[in-house]
A and B are shown apart, each in its own frame.
Chain A
Amino acid sequence: MAKRSLADQLDLLVEAILAGPGSPIPAADARLTPLRRVAAGLRGLPSQAFQKRLKADLAKPKLPVSEGEPAAPAVRPIREGFHTLTPYLSGPLELIDFVKRAFGGEELLRAPGSAGGLHCEVRIGDSIVMIGVGGKPMPTSLHLYVEDTDAVYRRALEAGATSTEKPVDQPYGDREAGVRDLSGNDWYIATHRATGLAPEGLRTVTPYLHARGAAEYVDFLDRALGAEEIDRATSPSGSILHAKVRIGDSILELGEAHGPYQPKPATFYLYVPDVDALYRRAVAAGAISQAAPSDQPYGDRVASVADPSGNIWHVATHVRDVVP
């Protein structure tokens, strides 16, 4: 058999190095040993595309953080599995079962609530919703992207919801239906017909607000929470038909209240890098303090504010991991 060239032998070594630890290193000319060491050091060489992408990502505007407080965080400020924005629903115990039966929700946590009652967390697709049982009901509206609007609509009705809109193809490419659950929450069920996926940036569940004075409210969200408007469609008179704002890694949809779509103040759980800074910023922007930041036994530091539209924001920074 013809002897392999040094370049060929070296490439076999490289191939084995790239295959990862545990792959047998082929025998090779001893002169290649120093080059094999260099090649081993290059395993996992960062891709330039990743390096550039991360740089661009870091340059995007961020929520504000405070100054002068000691020590780097030991944990991620957003609890594992959560995103910046989580809708917080309230209702009877049956609401939990409804979300599970109608939308295939997976119950992640059921624990005593900090204000009495029960606190429950349910995963729906790539999103989590929190559900408080025993508190004051605050029905809201949610956009729910699913693979099959018709099937989910049927399941929701079977699980006890009432229909607010039968499935219909919309000119903007979604098949949509609406149901109201037993707590009065409106679920706008949608399937993007072309892709079967949620539009870019939206998750399975996206909160949807109908605001009176939506344009002013978008300004408030910017001042108070650092929300960034990323999409706006307006009527000829200038009122917002539909807008999207980005808060951290999440999107909130909203539109000017009209007809049957009237304001229904909602409750949100908002993870931020520094709850104290955001609390100060929100109050300075006109939010009304409901509770100053304080450490909670479940590992979050939490403050609560009410915005001018009556929505409640539980702002939190995860400060330590706690086994439920």
Chain B
Amino acid sequence: MPQGRDVDERLLVEAAQKDPGRFADLYERNFDRVYAFVARRVRERETAEDLTSDVFHRALASLPRFEWRGAPFAAWLLRIAANAIADHSQRSAREKSLPEDGAPEPIVLKEVEHRARLYRSVDRLPADQKRVIRMRFGQEKSIREIARALKKTEGAVKQLQMRALKNLRARMSGTHG
């Protein structure tokens, strides 16, 4: 990670340690990553949301005890997320394949970064494409529901969906192997 980003992040962490109201900056910067990490391991949206919420609440509560040791703040958040997922899986006993050590592996981090970047890329789509993707994947609405809400034909919504996915692929293809 570039040094400049480290410095920025360190300042953000220190600001939030002094004033919890500044935690919002760290939240904005890391929400997609944490959510992507959790969603990768947990199928149900509701559970993914509960766990993501749990991670940020735990992080906020523990922030005064966070010590900067050079690793990105996100690594600390993902460690908390791994523990939260492990706690959850122990309770639900559904996902027994989780490793016991909560530390995310490098390959996982790469995948998480990729998915978080994909989430962020949605925001940069043209407005009508963005709306379709948000409704289709974020709210899991059917093409018919989206067409009704946007006052378009179902065919037009499907076209927008395809254009949006092409756009996202083009944006991601620079680093996606």
Contacts and interface: CB of A to CB of B under 8 A. Distances in A.
Interface of A: 5-8, 10-11, 14, 18, 20-21, 34-35, 37-39, 41-48, 50-51, 54-55, 57-59, 62, 65-77, 80, 273-274
Interface string B156-175: 00110110011011001000
A69 B139 contact: no
9 closest A-B pairs by CB: A273-B61, A45-B137, A44-B39, A7-B158, A42-B137, A67-B64, A35-B165, A45-B138, A47-B138
B2 to A, nearest CB: 25
A45 B31 contact: no
Interface residues of B, number: 59
B62 A73 contact: yes
Given A11-B143, A65-B61, A42 B80 contact: no
A44 B48 contact: yes
A35 B61 contact: no
B104 to A, nearest CB: 14
A38 B172 contact: yes
A76 B115 CA distance: 27
Interface string B38-60: 01000101001100111011111
Contacts, number: 140
B165 A51 contact: no
A65 B62 contact: yes
A23 to B, nearest CB: 12
B162 A6 contact: yes
A59 to B, nearest CB: 6
A39 B132 CA distance: 13
A41 B162 contact: no
B58 A76 contact: yes
B61 A77 contact: yes
A50 B31 CA distance: 11
A41 B61 contact: no
B162 A35 contact: yes
A75 B23 contact: no
B162 A10 contact: yes
A67 B134 CA distance: 40
Contact of B169 (A38, A44, A57, A73): A38
Contacts of B143: 11
A68 B134 CA distance: 41
B115 A41 contact: yes
Given A54-B56, A62-B60, A70-B67, 13 more contacts: A7-B162, A11-B161, A21-B43, A35-B166, A42-B133, A47-B138, A50-B52, A65-B61, A67-B65, A69-B64, A70-B65, A76-B54, A274-B61
Contacts of B24: 55, 58-59
B118 A42 contact: yes
Contacts of B48: 44, 46
A72 B49 contact: no
A101 B150 CA distance: 55
20 contacts: A10-B161, A10-B165, A11-B143, A11-B161, A14-B136, A14-B161, A20-B43, A38-B169, A38-B172, A42-B118, A45-B133, A55-B24, A55-B31, A57-B57, A62-B20, A67-B65, A72-B65, A73-B58, A76-B58, A273-B61
